[in-house]
């Protein structure tokens, strides 16, 4: 199955560059779509995109490394964003982050679990201050979190994954 996924992903990369007419000025949207496929930007895929767009790989890497939104390391299946904007921060987002780091054995320097299941990142304002403290799991918003409810959420995901396995 995995082979099939990879074939499909590579096919998608080809589709994406073609969709944008291999136009170098469309590099950012291309990288955004490519990242959706891989959950990050693998080096060889960036090199391939550079070849297609007739740009230097150094330029593509420069753009990819400039924007925080682009990930250069593989991300987990579940990307957890913990809001650390002003409202969430004063409502105790720090404790939630620490609890998840501890539970998943992660840190600011190591945001992704070895089994590529979870990535935990602190981000600036998610724009849902009324629900502070807020976290998102793969873009789904969870409001008024506590360290305990965040841990419970992770446990739920783990249980679901175990069921599916």
Partner 1 sequence: MENKQTIIINGREVPFNGQKNLLEIIRSANIEMPTFCYHSELSVYGACRLCIVDIEGMGVVTSCSTAPKAGMVVRTHTDKLRKMRKIYMELLLANHHQSCTTCAKSSMCKLQDLAARMDVKEVRFQKTGCEKALDTSSPSLIRDPNKCILCGDCVRACDEIQGIGAIDFANRGASTTVVPAFEKDIKSVDCVYCGLCASVCPTGAIMPRPETEAVWDILHDETKTVVVQIAPAVRVAIGEMFGLEPGTISTGKMVAALKMLGFDKVFDTSFAADLTVLEETNEFLKRKEKNEKLPLFTSCCPAWVKYVEQSFSDILPHVSSCRSPQQMFGSVARETLPKTLDVKPEDLHIVSIMPCTAKKFEAKRPEFMKNDQPDVDAVITTQELGRMIKQAGIQFNQLTSESFDMPLGFKTGAGIIFGTTGGVSEAVLRYASEKLTGQKPDPDDIARVRAKDGLRVHTVKIGEAELKLAIVHGLKNICEIAEQVRDGQCDYDFIEVMACPGGCVTGAGQPVSHDDTAKELRARGLYNKDKDLQLHNSDDNPYLHRCYQQHLGDIGGHKAHELLHTKYSSRKRFDDVEFLISEEHHQERLGVNVCVGTSCYLRGSQKLLEDVMKHVKKQDLHEQVEVRATFCFETCDHGPTVRVGETVMKKATVETICEEMNRQLQVLV
Under the rule (CB under 8 A), what is the footprint of partner 1?
A: 2-4, 6-7, 10-11, 14, 42-48, 50-52, 55-62, 65-68
Write down the least CB distance from residue 54 to partner 1, Å: 9
Measured from the Cβ of residue 156, the count of other Cβ atoms closer than 10 Å reads: 11
The token pair at 141 is 């918003």
The residues pairing with 140 across neighbouring beta strands, listed in sequence order, are 137
What residues have CB less than 8 Å from 90, skipping those under 6 apart?
Answer: 132
CB nearer to partner 1: pick between 64 and 106: 64
Q: How far is the CB of 69 from partner 1 (least distance, A)?
A: 12
**Which residues face 70 on adjacent strands?**
none
Classify residue 116 by its DSSP letter: S
Minimum CB separation of residue 46 from partner 1 in Å reads 8
- Between 27 and 147, CB nearer to partner 1: 27
């Amino acid at each position: 199955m995995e082979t099939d996924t990879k074939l499909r992903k590579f096919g998608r990369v080809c589709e994406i560059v073609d969709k944008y007419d291999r136009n170098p000025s469309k590099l950012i949207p291309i990288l955004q779509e490519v990242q959706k496929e891989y959950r990050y930007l693998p080096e060889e895929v960036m090199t391939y995109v550079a070849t297609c767009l007739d740009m230097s790989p150094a330029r593509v890497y420069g753009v990819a490394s400039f924007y925080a939104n682009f990930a250069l390391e593989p991300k987990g299946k579940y990307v957890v964003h913990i809001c650390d904007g002003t409202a969430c921060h004063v409502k105790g987002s720090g404790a939630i982050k620490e609890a998840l780091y501890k539970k998943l054995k992660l840190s600011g320097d190591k945001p992704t679990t070895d089994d590529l299941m979870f990535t935990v990142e602190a981000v600036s304002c998610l724009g849902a201050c009324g629900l502070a403290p807020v976290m998102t799991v793969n873009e789904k918003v969870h409001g008024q979190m506590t360290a305990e409810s965040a841990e419970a959420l992770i446990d739920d995901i783990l249980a679901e994954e175990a069921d599916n396995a």
